[in-house]
Chain A
Amino acid sequence: MHPAISVIFFTTASGAGYGLLALTGIGLALGLVPADRLFGLIALGLALTLVTAGLLASTLHLGHPERAWRAFSQWRSSWLSREGVASVLTYVPAAVFAAGWVLFGRTGSMIVLAGLLAALGALVTVYTTSMIYASLRTIPEWANGYTTPVYLLLAAMSGAVLLNAVAAMFGGEPVVGWVAAALLAAGWALKLAAWRANDTRAPPVTAGRATGLGDGAVRSIEWPHTAENYVLKEMGYRVARKHARQLRRIAWICAFAVPLALVLVSLAAGGAAAIAAASAACVFAGLGLVVERWLFFAEARHVAALYYRPAV
């Protein structure tokens, strides 16, 4: 699949934003983060900025962004529509949560409840996002049991890394750090497993089934067009295996290994060093996740590309 920048940015940014939002909500409820208004401002400001920027970016690849409102209508059947609805609905508790905490400095039960509802909204939204991909039977790399856990876990993970950095500015919250470290380790393991599964998955259909020609290798000898067309550009995107392997390495190093180390450093160190390490973890995780998400698209092989393959 063609790795569109806007969609990559959207899923990574909004994922991190929702992760941060959810963890902040839960953190406040559990008293794991400071009830400091400034803390709320930074954490929720960051979360909502990421979410909003991501959502806006996602409209960038639309042919008609001005009609984006129409996308809320089909929530009964469409995960994309549900994502839209969920994302907007999440703003309601998130707004109450943020306003109550940051503007009015209140962290009472209503606000905590709003925070928890925002966390729930974030969870649901990321879930709907993941389901957009996981429900596409046309793309075996997505339509499997890994997609949703990976989306949820990586959202939580990136949120935790961010929260750890914010916490570091406020002197650090070991629990947050440990949660971040645990999520990084889990995310790492899950992503490796997802990649492995993709590498070993038998293709769901063959060109013989795609063309109705049945058994016997089917080889494309002439395309219907000599230049690329929409289907090829969008669905036929391919990244060379060698490239992919390198990028995967970059992805896991940046997204998991380095942030994990840095989060541990931030836990061990204190003061400016902790802040620096925790912040650097965010930068690496962000970069790593962008690469991970790029690969998520680039390595996904749409079955329609079967029609164009030289040999299957």
Chain B
Amino acid sequence: MTGLQKSTGRKLGLVIDLDTCVGCQACVTSCKEWNTGGHMAPLTDIDPYGEAPDGVWFNRVHTYEQEVETGPGTNRGTGTGTGSRTVHFPRSCLHCDEPACVTVCPTGASYKRASDGIVLVDEDKCIGCKLCSWACPYGAREYDTEVGVMKKCTLCVDRIYNDNLPEADRVPACVASCPVGARHFGDLGDETSPVSQLVAARGGVDLMPELGYRPVNKYLPPRERHADAGAAPLEPVGGEGGFFAWVDRMLSR
């Protein structure tokens, strides 16, 4: 229902590591592939082979450059003076704790599950007013013009609870496919869970916390780059006779 029910404390969600994401789009297409036949099927594509292809996706990956201070540890450019870094940024529903997308919904189609915190759309109730997408700061909802309803990341409810899948596969499609292991799935309501610990260890952050949506998904910012590995500068081999004498000495040992 539109009004938020009391949560059980379980908060399933994703932890996304911006330090290791290489922007490969595997999570993007595996999400599309799973979900276009899944709970919210289909994820319609308009003009798929034409001039302006536009489809419904639940997960999108951006590429940014950010100005950062030049320092020994930054991944720096050449010659510009200012340092900058390139970051890949996957964006999907954050299954917020205070999801205005849910409270604005006039029909109750948008709801947040009390049992695990997943935010879903009941397509049979949705009138396609789009207001929920206006209320989402993260651009996580995409409207299916053909079906006339709003669609969004389901946190792969039809995988994570799917008894027909092997235990190991009961994770979101995007998590299963990520080749570098930049996506983690778990209960962020449980402080002892591996994902919560990862967030604590890596200083995971909320996106746009000032808007008060209290997203469940967390992002791990790029780590401090390894500073110069602290190696002492190389010195020419000492002793008499230069390099070849050094070789000789070494071999005589």
Contacts and interface: CB of A to CB of B under 8 A. Distances in A.
Q: Do chains A and B touch in the complex (CB under 8 A)?
A: yes
Interface residues of A, number: 60
A97 B54 CA distance: 50
Contact of A214 (B89, B108, B221): B221
Contacts of A234: 130, 133-134, 143
B86 interface: yes
Contacts of A220: 62-64
Contact of A74 (B2, B126, B139, B205): B2
Interface stretch (B99-107, B157-165, B179-187, B233-241): B99-107
B148 A77 contact: no
Given A70-B127, A137-B212, A303-B208, A221 B106 contact: no
Contacts of B42: none
Contacts of A61: 129-130
Contact of B91 (A63, A224, A230): A224
A65 interface: yes
Given A78-B103, A224-B62, A235 B139 contact: yes
Interface in B93-145: 100, 103-109, 125-131, 133-139, 142-145
Contact of A84 (B53, B54, B106, B135): B106
Contacts of A139: 134
Interface in A25-68: 61-65, 67-68
Nearest to A83: B106
Contacts of A63: 126-129, 143-145, 147-150
A303 B87 CA distance: 20
A137 B109 CA distance: 21
A135 interface: yes
Contacts of A73: 2, 106-108
A303 B106 contact: no
A220 B211 CA distance: 22
Interface of A: 1, 61-65, 67-68, 70-74, 76-81, 84, 132, 135-139, 204-205, 207-214, 216-225, 227-231, 233-235, 302-305, 307-308
21 contacts: A64-B149, A70-B108, A78-B106, A81-B107, A137-B100, A138-B211, A205-B210, A209-B208, A212-B206, A212-B221, A213-B18, A213-B64, A216-B67, A216-B68, A222-B62, A222-B63, A228-B54, A230-B133, A231-B142, A304-B139, A307-B139
